[in-house]
Structure 1
Amino acid sequence: MIEVHELTKRYGDTIAVNALSFTVRPGRVTGFLGPNGAGKTTTLRMLLGLVSPTGGSATIEGRPFCDRPRGLRHVGVLLDAGDVHVGRSGWDHLAALARGNGIPRHRVAEVLAEVGLTEAARRRVSGYSLGMRQRLGIAAALLGDPPVLLFDEPLNGLDPEGVLWMRGLFRRLAGEGRTVFVSSHQMGEMEDTAEHLVVIGRGELIAAESVARFAARATRPDVTVRTPDAAGLATVLTDEGAAVLADGEGLLTVTGLPAARIGELACAHRISLHELASGGRSLEKAFMELTADRVDYLTGASQSPTEKHEEHGQRLAEGAR
């Protein structure tokens, strides 16, 4: 189990994480969500002792992670798949980790097989693709057969088969009674994989609840409309106060009006409809609504102050390792 209590991190006048408290329980996949600059990576690094908190506490299985000399036997971690000596082979990388953590050597072959890298095990990591490096990082996390696993953006670089495999792996690990904590920006995958969520924004807790309950917070469900007069209907609906997104093939996604009202307006303006369906509420829509006022980093904007301080703190921590 992971327990975070009043966890706080300041970089000068900037608060990256602010009195954050939550619990991640075993036996289920918990997703960790937040906009860019929300403090997710800083939180994970404080959990692992790579960044010192300004206040509060973060424990794994009742103890700070840095108190465990053979950490990989207790916590499996994937923070950055690129954080590996590229001159080593995948086998040598894992063998070194095994020796340093008192893990039997046979586990190297086992985890390489589990992530599908047996054939590439003796090749240098410099020749690995992004997806292969991601799989190697996952193998390292699994190496000590730990009860707790932390993954930061584990799906980056994986092809569709790899994403499907990863989804099954998360569920299997949780089904074995392990604590599985996954930070990701891929809402669709979290909706399909996670059972519980911890959502933060600007370093503060927004929600800690089931995926279904969080998704139900969306207040404005989408409606899908298909019509031969998409431009005409879009004008009518926009005049009525709806937000309309067109895909250029007669398909409109409408927010702000219920399906019944859209049908009435189309009938009143003698516009034919070929499809009218309510899309319901989704995790992505709830996330966008509930974090809208806590986004530090927007498309086209420069890096947020929080992210800059997070990066600076991470570099300091990495330099001290």
Structure 2
Amino acid sequence: MNTLPEWTDLRFFLELARAGTLSGASRRLEVEHTTVARRIDRLESQLETTLFDRSREGYELTEVGQALLPHAEAMEGAALAAAEQIGGAEVAAHGVVRLGVPEVFGVRVVAPLLATLLDQHPDLSIDLLALPSFANLANREADLGVTMDAPTTGRYMVTRLASFHFYLYASPIYLAKHPPIRTQQDLAGHDFVDYVQDRLASRELSYLNELGFTPRRRMCCSGMTAQLEAASLGMGLMMAPPYAVPDNGRLVRVLPGFQAERAFWLAAPTDLYRLRRVKIVWDLLRECAESHPDLFVQGGAPHPLQRLA
């Protein structure tokens, strides 16, 4: 190899590695898919190696491609940081931040926070991915994300955002039509609203399996928004954190003291974490979690947490 690869070719390499298909990479790069293929061919020729295995399903990194990936990501981070600094980011953040958050947390907690943030930073834009699953940081679906499973591999900045409780709720409609719930043993005779079990975004969402019996799931949904509506209409009991339950009387707490402990983690690729626009969103989420423990644990301040019996 007589010359170093161009950064633009490495950018094409990164986007294809993340998307896995020429069409996906071309959409990200806003070019024709033939351009992506041509740039990858040129890069492989220049490096005198094969970076991707091609198949009908798409493009998959070879062992050499996997070795190149962190170096290309480091170059991308340096390029982004340089562009931000030259653009005056030390004074005000600018550009787009893609933030991945669980759907109900995103709508009820995060979205209201962003109004003030955007007022303070007029050149900043937010793409809020409020999802029933968790954003895939490995393929750069988001710049930072809130998840229930902290990344264990790769180059990430990770912090525990908040510990929180899932509490048991039911609608007054449901409670009026079913036997009273005085003890945990009484729950075995009741209906439940839960996640679709073979579509769980995280094993941490299988908290009903800790009840000590097999719950009678009468309604299962892919996301918590639909669960809240189903439970409000009297289809069964459900478990949810405090921030998810509107204060409108459609759902009431059942069996006080009964709870499941979980945690949210905040993560961002190391190279993106250094960017001012990403860092201010990171700090906003951490400040919110520290200042409003009542969003996560009923009663205000955090206290020792109890797992389901």
TM-score (norm 1): 0.29
* Higher RCO (CA < 8 A, seq sep 6+): 1
TM-score (norm 2): 0.29
Higher helix fraction (1 or 2): 2
